[in-house]
Structure 1
Amino acid sequence: MNTKAIKMSTGDRVFVGFNYLFVIAATLVVLYPLIYIISASVSDPSTVQSGEMWLLPKGFTWEGYERILANQDIWMGYKNTIIYTVLAVIINLAVTIPCAYALSRPELYGKNFFVKFMMITMFISGGMIPTYLLIKQLGMLNSIWALLIPSATGVYNIVVTRSFFQTTIPRELEEAAIVDGCSDFRIFFQIVLPLSAPILAVIALFVGVGRWNGFMDALIYLSDRAKFPLQMILRELLILQDMSSNATASNASIQEVLNRKRELVGIIKYGIMIVSTLPIIVVYPFLQRYFVKGMLVGSLKG
């Protein structure tokens, strides 16, 4: 049957046209902030501050990126963020995957109770103050473990991974391996894990993006500036910009210096946004198909 010969009704054409308009509008809404940030990062600070630059660069300059490359605090934060993200992904995978696999096994007695018990923590939390006191009692204040251990896994990640094992890994394959004399550990490491690349990528993406963008726990638990992640350094720059914008000075030359610093902080801010999101932008296309599959797995009833 020739689908080209099928004529759309007026209602269908209106519906398709509306979809095109919606997609175009949504694309523009998403693209404009990205284009603006990129343009602002290479524009003259005065044009950004005054609002003259609203889309394309004006007064092209690399001054912001030059200052970013020369700022040791930014690179220190960048290094810390990379270390925290890599360790967080490794720890989460090491905890989440075995736990979810155990809960997916039909012979595990009381698995439904364990799942329901863990899901309670998704709705009820101890709160910030009890958590802080616990971290303090464990001696993890001002250490990277305060950022990694409390978030070593997540119930949502366990449930999604458990659903993946139940719906994707054939039980017959495990039974055949048992008949051949394989132990549980051998089945897990040599059969289950090689078939679990999609869910491993999904959990790594979830945890990696969350850790890369996180700063609240660092704000609460870290006091040593040498351990600050990049997001804390960016927060300091934003606070500095607000302070300089609210500062008043009677001397005209001092006020001019303050205004110049505010403009430079603004352009550095946009440059850091580009630098800080670049790794995620580079990695995401390689994990996108796994990400979509993982979201579909999470929608299945486990």
Structure 2
Amino acid sequence: MVETTQDRIFNIINYSLLIIISIIVLYPLFFVVIASISSPGAVMRGEVWLWPKDLTWVGYKRVFANKEILMGYWNTILYTVIGTAINLVMTVAAAYPLSRKDFMLRNTFTAMIVFTMFFSGGMIPTYLLIKNLGMLNSFWVMVIPGAVSVWNILIMRTFFQNGIPYEMQEAASIDGCTNMQILTRIVLPLSMPIIAVMILFYSVGHWNSYFTALIYLTDRAKYPLQLFLREILVQGQMQEMLDISADSLSNSLMDAEAIKYAIVIVANLPILLLYPFLQKYFVKGVMIGAIKG
């Protein structure tokens, strides 16, 4: 096709806007990276803009020297990995039957599930339920109560309905496959885009979760990383990390500035590393699962 003048003008404007938006979105992350390895004094004076100044690793040294930060990091990894695995199993177990045309009560169960999106029991009844189940201050309180997301069930159900021809499932059934074999040998291998999307959604949710731990956990040995970060960044409880005294108040404040930027990088690095591997599935999974049907 011959590109017209209007097409060239549109492309120039479009690419220019995309470049500007990309810079606006990426610069804060870039700034945090260079600020985390720059002199805290230079950062506080506003001298760090495009490249680091007076390289220092004091922020990262302080973070990794704190045993609670490392313990919270390990706890968060466990909560994220095990919680995401449970989420995937439960979501597939709910979405697949609801996508089958031969499941007579699928509309009834779908309505019952959707009802919970708009009405919940509330915080206090939920807390009492968790207490009666004996899950307070336990590992499972971080992964069981949120094991299923209704919205994600609907997305996956829609993908199963529109992304996988029902005729393939009928053919497999005629060949003697059971429902479980159809799910494991046909449906799931063809559902990698939506599974990748679910992994990203659930893992990010678990990684950033702190409110559940704030309500149900009292043992600091079970705290996730985000709860320790909340104490440091929001409540300003940095005495143990910085060992603040009257003689070293200025240096401690400088170290606190470096720690804040280092913590942001440490907390977000696993998710930033995960996304590129799932990116090729992400757009396809969201488009097929959320728009069709």
**Same topology, TM > 0.5:** yes
**Aligned: 1:110 with 2:101:** no
Provide the residue aligned with 2:177 in structure 1.
182
**Partner of residue 73, structure 1:** 68
**Preserved contact between residue 80 and residue 230 of structure 1 (Cα < 8 Å):** yes
Structure 2 residue 119 is the aligned partner of structure 1 residue 128: no
* Count of paired positions: 289
Deviation of 1:208 after TM superposition, in Å, equals 0.4
- Distance (Å, rounded) in 2 between the aligned partners of 1:52 and 1:240: 27
The answer as to 2:26 corresponding to 1:8 is no
Q: Aligned-pair distance for 1:74?
A: 1.2
Q: Residues 52 and 88 of structure 1: is their aligned pair in 2 closer, same or farther, counting only changes over 3 Å?
A: same
**Any idea what SS the aligned residue of 1:299 has?**
helix
Distance 1:282 1:132 in 2: 35
Aligned AA for 2:55? F
Structure 1 unaligned spans of 5+: 245-252
Greater alpha carbon shift after TM alignment, 51-60 vs 187-196: 51-60
Q: Does 1:279 align with 2:270?
A: yes
Q: Counterpart in 1 of 2:249?
A: 258
Aligned pairs for 1:65-104 (under 5 A) are: 65-104=60-99
Q: What is the Cα-based RMSD across aligned positions, in Å? A: 2.1
Q: What residue is the counterpart of 2:28 in the other structure?
A: 33
The offset of 1:101, in angstroms, is 0.4
CA distance in 2, matches of 1:197, 1:15: 35
Once structures 1 and 2 are overlaid, which stretch shifts more, 93-102 or 232-241? 232-241
**Matched-pair contact (CA < 8 Å) for 2:75–2:222:** yes
The 8 Å contact of residues 231 and 237 in structure 2, kept in 1 or not, is answered as: no
Tell me which residue corresponds to 1:149: 144
Aligned mate of 2:168, from 156, 173, 182: 173
Contact 1:40-1:53 at 8 Å conserved across structures: yes
Superposition deviation, residue 122 in structure 1: 1.5
Displacement of 1:254: 4.6
Question: Given the alignment, which residue of 212, 215, 225 partners 1:217?
Answer: 212
Indicate conservation of the 8 Å contact 1:64/1:267, yes or no. Answer: yes
Instruction: Tell which structure's C-alpha radius of gyration is larger.
Output: 1
| Displacement after TM superposition at 1:14 (Å) | 4.9
Partner of 1:49: 44
User: Under a length normalisation based on structure 1, what TM-score does the superposition of the two structures give?
Assistant: 0.88
Task: Give the letter for the 1:129 counterpart.
Answer: I
Q: CA deviation at 1:242?
A: 7.5
In structure 2, what is the Cα distance between the partners aligned to 1:300 and 1:240?
A: 42
Inter-partner Cα distance in structure 2 for 1:262 and 1:72: 21
C-alpha separation between the residues in 2 aligned to 1:41 and 1:57?
9
Measure, in 2, the Cα distance between the counterparts of 1:201 and 1:292: 10
Of residues 196, 202, 226 in structure 1, which corresponds to 2:197? 202
- Amino acid of the residue matched to residue 129 of structure 2? L
Give the deviation of 1:53 after TM superposition: 2.7
Alpha-carbon separation, structure 2, partners of 1:25 and 1:256: 46
C-alpha distance in structure 2 between counterparts of 1:224 and 1:55, whole Å: 42
Rounded Cα–Cα distance in structure 2 between residues aligned with 1:140 and 1:261: 39
Aligned identity (percent) is 52
